[in-house]
């Protein structure tokens, strides 16, 4: 047993912890009340050398707490002789970990351990009920976590954003915190980021450009606006991370959608985030004002799908991600070198280059390709500009009657699915109340909520699919209007750019005999028969 006079010469550690869940239970567990109780106890027993170790807003299922670890470090340094907590649940809610400290580490360091409300005092001998109390504390943490997850799921499935803070470019609506408003200052940076991507800049290049221009990182920008940033602030306020840029370029929030359930935690003990598969995400469309137009977003995704690697001279090949072998379907890669003059730089079939198939050497010189595509694009854009009505009619050709019939069926399915989703939205809260009140067991709740959840996810996908089908014809018309505006803006272009190529062209096929086959995004092949008429 410890020597009390020796321990009086050392620090008395008064450990205080409050989790976010504990706050719901009122003032009894508050930091202030815990400190009052521990101070009074230490005074009553004449323990003068006291030091508080505090963890506010930290779960008891983890022991990676700043205050707790500081106390353990002082114990291991021999500075602490006594540890006092309000009760065992304040110390922790993982009975195995709690036991490692109270039954092994503390005796090894001659620590006098006291849990006031639970009647635990290591100098008075073992309390046989303590291990059971620790198990109960862990069960409480597990049960609380389960209830919180249920509420979290119900909230997420209703379309409410689950992120604590809106993404960079948005702020919370002061009148409705679940709604996002555009923050114009940061939204300008987001728009520029997407434009730079279209112009051929990769995430690393964009990050370096923003750093050179001393644009505040998202976290530092939030702080500069008087708001609290999530996580630790980067040391350098202008150091943009290329991964941050890449994630932002793929974020559907910027086209007005809410994306929930991107990540999860492994268990109530392990709070580390685990990325979910994209098939598990739940997406709600058009929930807030978009910063980025759909067409711009789609162009960036197409560019990112075919990630372009800079050459040794840090240049991005103009046609990267667009060129394909007409025979084997492989991509064509850019070739240059010290021994190759600019006039001889070329694109070559990747399969032939790697000898992965028996494909022949499909290649084409870069200067030739630029000349052909420039001429082809100019002819195509000239035709579209001169024959706007005919062009739109050709694209919209098809069995309109069949499409109308399909749209009517989809509309019927849409109404049925939306009605059932509304029913499920009302079931979830009632189900949760039934579990809390004890009318159904937590196991029954888990089973029912899981079943309803799966049904709702399926229904939401059906609603999404039906909405897309119904809007398909309107989308084609809207796209053609955007294309018409784009053509009017760029019809007198002199130089090819990544933006121009990816806005107009879906892919370019290179044949063995050097023939070039251009596939435009609006689905009219290479418009060859039309181009010949105006050549």
Can you tell me the distance from the alpha carbon of 205 to that of 66, in angstroms, rounded to the nearest whole number? 37
* Angle subtended at Cα 458 by Cα 456 and Cα 461, rounded to the nearest 5 degrees: 110
From start to end of 99-184, where are the E strands?
112-115, 120-121, 170-173, 176-182
Q: Mean pLDDT over residues 353-370, rounded?
A: 75
Q: Indicate the pLDDT class of residue 72, thresholds 50, 70 and 90.
A: very high
Can you tell me the distance from the alpha carbon of 331 to that of 508, in angstroms, rounded to the nearest whole number? 10
Can you tell me the distance from the alpha carbon of 298 to that of 475, in angstroms, rounded to the nearest whole number? 13
DSSP state of 251: -
Residue with more model confidence, 439 or 91: 91
Q: Mean pLDDT over residues 5-17, rounded?
A: 82
Q: Mean pLDDT over residues 456-471, rounded?
A: 72
pLDDT of 191 reads 95
Among the residue ranges 243-247, 411-415, 483-487, the one predicted with the least confidence is 411-415
Indicate if the pLDDT at residue 247 is higher than 50. yes
pLDDT of 391 reads 78
Among the residue ranges 29-38, 70-79, 271-280, the one predicted with the least confidence is 271-280
Write down the mean pLDDT value for the chain: 78
DSSP, collapsed to helix, strand or coil, labels residue 247 as helix
pLDDT of 289 reads 92
pLDDT of 399 reads 44
Q: Indicate the pLDDT class of residue 412, thresholds 50, 70 and 90.
A: confident
Q: Which residues, including other chains, have CB under 8 Å from residue 54's CB and lie 6 or more apart?
A: 15, 16, 17, 31, 67
Spell out the domain ranges in the chain. 4-152, 173-305
DSSP, collapsed to helix, strand or coil, labels residue 264 as strand
Residue with more model confidence, 238 or 532: 238
173-305 — its CATH code? 3.90.1750
Can you tell me the distance from the alpha carbon of 286 to that of 294, in angstroms, rounded to the nearest whole number? 11
Q: Mean pLDDT over residues 62-81, rounded?
A: 92
Q: Own/partner pairs for 184-193, CB < 8 Å, 24+ apart?
A: 185/221, 186/218, 186/221, 187/291, 189/215, 190/248, 190/254, 190/291, 190/292, 191/291, 191/292, 193/245, 193/248, 193/249
Record the tokens describing residue 156, joined without a space.
Answer: 């997420």
**What share of the chain has pLDDT > 90, as a percent?**
19
pLDDT of 147 reads 54
Instruction: Print burial letters for 77-102: b (CB count within 10 Å at least 16), e (below 16).
Output: eeebbbbbbbbbbbbbbbbebbbebb
pLDDT of 207 reads 93
pLDDT tens profile 424-451: 777 877 777 777 777 888 777 777 777 7
Taking CA atoms, 100 is separated from 90, 107, 127, in Å, by 16, 10, 16
| C-beta neighbour count of 60 within 10 angstroms | 27
Torsions phi, psi for 386 (to 5 deg)? -80, -20
pLDDT of 1 reads 39
Indicate if the pLDDT at residue 106 is higher than 50. yes
Q: Which residues, including other chains, have CB under 8 Å from residue 97's CB and lie 6 or more apart?
A: 63
DSSP state of 158: T
Indicate if the pLDDT at residue 266 is higher than 60. no
- The torsion region of residue 367 among left (phi > 0), alpha (psi -120 to 50) and beta comes to alpha
pLDDT tens profile 303-354: 777 655 554 444 567 887 788 888 888 888 887 655 566 667 888 887 775 5
pLDDT of 117 reads 86
Chain length of the chain: 535
pTM assigned to the model: 0.49
pLDDT of 312 reads 47
Torsions phi, psi for 217 (to 5 deg)? -65, 160
**What share of the chain has pLDDT > 70, as a percent?**
76
pLDDT of 472 reads 59
Among the residue ranges 348-357, 452-461, 485-494, the one predicted with the least confidence is 348-357
Highest mean pLDDT of the ranges 222-236, 284-298, 302-316:
284-298
Contact call for residues 30 and 133 (beta carbons, < 8 A): no
Contact call for residues 388 and 522 (beta carbons, < 8 A): no
Indicate if the pLDDT at residue 406 is higher than 70. no
pLDDT of 35 reads 92
pLDDT of 29 reads 65
Q: Indicate the pLDDT class of residue 190, thresholds 50, 70 and 90.
A: very high
Can you tell me the distance from the alpha carbon of 274 to that of 372, in angstroms, rounded to the nearest whole number? 48
Indicate if the pLDDT at residue 21 is higher than 70. no
pLDDT tens profile 114-168: 999 888 888 876 555 455 555 555 555 555 555 555 655 666 676 777 777 899 9
Evaluated on CA atoms 462, 464, 465, 471, the torsion sign reads: positive
Can you tell me the distance from the alpha carbon of 525 to that of 296, in angstroms, rounded to the nearest whole number? 23
Q: Mean pLDDT over residues 374-399, rounded?
A: 80
The correct CATH number of 4-152 out of 3.40.50.360, 3.40.50.1370, 3.40.50.1390, 3.20.20.150 is: 3.40.50.1390
């Amino acid at each position: 047993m410890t020597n009390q006079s020796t321990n009086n010469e050392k620090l008395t550690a008064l450990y205080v912890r409050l989790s976010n869940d504990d706050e719901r239970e009122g003032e009894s567990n508050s930091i202030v009340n815990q400190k009052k109780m521990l101070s009074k106890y230490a005074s009553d027993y004449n323990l003068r050398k006291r030091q508080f170790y505090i963890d506010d807003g930290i779960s008891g299922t983890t022991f990676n707490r700043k205050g707790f670890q500081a106390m353990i470090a002082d114990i291991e340094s021999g500075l602490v002789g006594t540890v006092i907590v309000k009760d065992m649940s304040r110390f922790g809610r993982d009975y195995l970990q709690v036991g490692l400290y109270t039954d092994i580490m503390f005796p090894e360091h001659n620590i006098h351990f006291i849990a006031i409300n639970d009647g635990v005092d290591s100098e008075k001998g073992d309390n046989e009920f303590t291990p059971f109390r620790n198990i109960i504390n862990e069960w409480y943490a597990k049960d609380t976590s389960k209830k919180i997850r249920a509420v979290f799921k119900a909230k997420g499935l209703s379309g409410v954003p689950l992120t604590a803070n809106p993404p960079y470019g948005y702020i919370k609506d002061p009148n409705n915190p679940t709604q996002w408003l555009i923050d114009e200052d940061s939204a300008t940076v987001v728009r520029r980021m997407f434009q730079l991507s279209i112009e051929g800049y990769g995430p690393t290049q964009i990050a370096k450009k923003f750093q050179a221009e001393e644009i505040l990182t998202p976290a530092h920008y939030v702080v500069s606006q008087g708001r609290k940033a999530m996580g630790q602030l980067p040391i350098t306020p202008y150091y943009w991370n290329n991964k941050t840029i890449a994630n932002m370029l793929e974020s559907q929030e910027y086209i007005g959608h809410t994306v929930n359930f991107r990540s999860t935690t492994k268990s109530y003990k392990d709070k580390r985030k685990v990325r979910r598969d994209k098939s598990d995400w739940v997406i709600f469309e058009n929930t807030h004002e978009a910063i980025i137009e759909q067409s711009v977003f789609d162009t960036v995704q197409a560019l990112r799908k075919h990630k372009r690697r800079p050459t040794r001279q840090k240049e991005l090949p103009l046609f990267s991600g667009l060129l394909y072998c007409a025979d084997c379907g492989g991509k064509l890669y850019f070739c240059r070198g010290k021994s190759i003059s600019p006039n001889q730089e070329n694109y070559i079939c990747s399969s032939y280059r790697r000898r992965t198939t028996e494909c022949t050497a499909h290649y084409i010189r870069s200067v030739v390709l630029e000349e052909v595509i420039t001429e082809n694009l100019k002819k195509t854009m000239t035709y579209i500009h001169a024959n706007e009505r005919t062009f739109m009619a050709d694209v919209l050709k098809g069995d309109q009657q069949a499409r109308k019939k399909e749209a009517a069926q989809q509309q019927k399915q849409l109404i049925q699915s939306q009605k059932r989703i509304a029913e499920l939205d009302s079931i979830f809260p009632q189900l949760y109340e039934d579990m809390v009140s004890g009318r159904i067991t937590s196991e029954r709740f888990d089973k029912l909520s899981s079943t309803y959840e799966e049904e709702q996810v399926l229904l939401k996908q059906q609603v999404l699919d039906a909405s897309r089908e119904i809007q398909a014809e309107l989308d084609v018309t809207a796209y053609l209007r955007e294309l018409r505006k784009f053509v009017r803006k760029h019809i007198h272009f002199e130089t090819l750019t990544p933006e121009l190529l990816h806005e107009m062209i879906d892919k370019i096929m290179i044949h063995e005999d050097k023939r070039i086959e251009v596939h435009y995004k609006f689905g009219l092949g290479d418009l060859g028969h039309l181009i010949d008429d105006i050549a």
